[in-house]
Each structure stands twice: as structure tokens, then as C-alpha cells.
Amino acid sequence: MEKTALSRRSMLCGVLVALAVPGGLAACGSETTPPDTGTAPADGTTPGSSGPAIIAALADVPDGGGMLAGNPSNSKPLVLVRTGETVKAYDATCPHQGTAVAPPEGGVITCPNHGSTFNASDGAVTKGPATKGLTEVPVKVEAGQIILA
């Protein structure tokens, strides 16, 4: 049986994959991909796409409730609140100390860190220690998908 020697590049790729070093696979191919900067364009589109990035499917958000989702325009999570076909989104960062709030329950969004509560219908603070409400992020529903407005 004939043995084939590994090239340095192949050996390096194997080591990088085994160690799961971010970006390690870029050295394995002959083409390179620019590094992901972790930011998306301000218009909510995904680089290289022709339309706005999808936040979530409407069907995935419980009617009368909500969920946490990623924001395609930045790294801050969103809290989505659904009533029928209408969805509102708020920056999920509690204005008190920056903890991510929990999804709404019974029309109330609660910060698990210090217990601040917010009205799910408008984001207004209903109990401190937070002194201001959640920031609304404009969204719309198109073809059953929630996207930035």
C-alpha cells in the first residue's frame, strides 16, 4: 500500500479543525472569505441578499405572547410581542442595567435581574427599578415573516 505524505496545509487544517479555532477553515481552501464583522447593514438586509433579513416566522411567535429573537441590524436581541397578525418588537435590553428581558407572559415583560416589568403592548415601564420603558424597534409582517420596517 502506497503512503501519501500530508502537506503542511493539510496538517494545519486538521489541527485547526480539531481545535475549532474560529476562522481556521479559511486556510483550508484555495479561496478566502472576508471575515464576518458581526454587523449587518443598517437597512436590515443581509450582505449579498436582495431583501430584508427575516427576524422570525409569524407562526413561531405565540399569539397573545411573544419570544426573544436576534436583530439582523445589530447584536442586541429583540423581544417580539404578537397579537393576531400584529407584531411589535422592542430592544430586549433592560434600560436599568442591560440584562436581556424575558419573553412576555400575561401581557407583561419582566427583567429577570432586578424585577423591572414592562407593558407588552407599548413597552412602558410598569415597575422599577427601571425608570424608562423598552425601546420599540419598527417591524412588519410580510408573507408570514417578521422583518425590520
Whole-angstrom CA distances from 131 to 19, 90, 94, 114, 126 are: 46, 16, 10, 12, 9
CATH number for the domain including 130?
2.102.10.10
* In a shared domain, residues 18 and 65: no
Domain of residue 15, residue span: 1-35
Give the CA angle between residues 125, 44, 100 to the nearest 5°. Answer: 30
Percent of the chain whose pLDDT exceeds 90? 61
- C-alpha 31/C-alpha 46 separation (Å) is 21
* In a shared domain, residues 82 and 139: yes
The answer on pLDDT for 99 being more than 50 is yes
Say if 44 falls within a structural domain: no
pLDDT at residue 65, as a whole number:
96
In the block, cell 409569524 appears at 58
* In a shared domain, residues 78 and 127: yes
* In a shared domain, residues 20 and 76: no
How many domains in the chain?
2
pLDDT at residue 120, as a whole number:
97
Say if 140 falls within a structural domain: yes
Give the CA angle between residues 126, 129, 130 to the nearest 5°. Answer: 65
Say if 25 falls within a structural domain: yes
pLDDT at residue 49, as a whole number:
53
Q: What is the pLDDT of residues 19-42, one digit of tens each?
A: 433 443 333 333 333 344 444 444
Q: Could you tell me which residues come within 8 angstroms of residue 80 by beta carbon, excluding any fewer than 6 positions away?
A: 55, 56, 61, 66, 67, 68, 69, 87, 88, 89, 139, 146
Q: Is the pTM of this model over 0.75?
A: no
* In a shared domain, residues 17 and 59: no
* In a shared domain, residues 78 and 13: no
Say if 49 falls within a structural domain: no
Say if 45 falls within a structural domain: no
Structural contact between residues 81 and 121, judged by C-beta atoms closer than 8 angstroms: yes
Whole-angstrom CA distances from 46 to 42, 52, 74, 131 are: 10, 7, 11, 34
Q: What is the pLDDT of residues 41-79, one digit of tens each?
A: 444 444 445 567 899 999 999 999 999 999 998 889 999
Amino acid identity, position 75? S
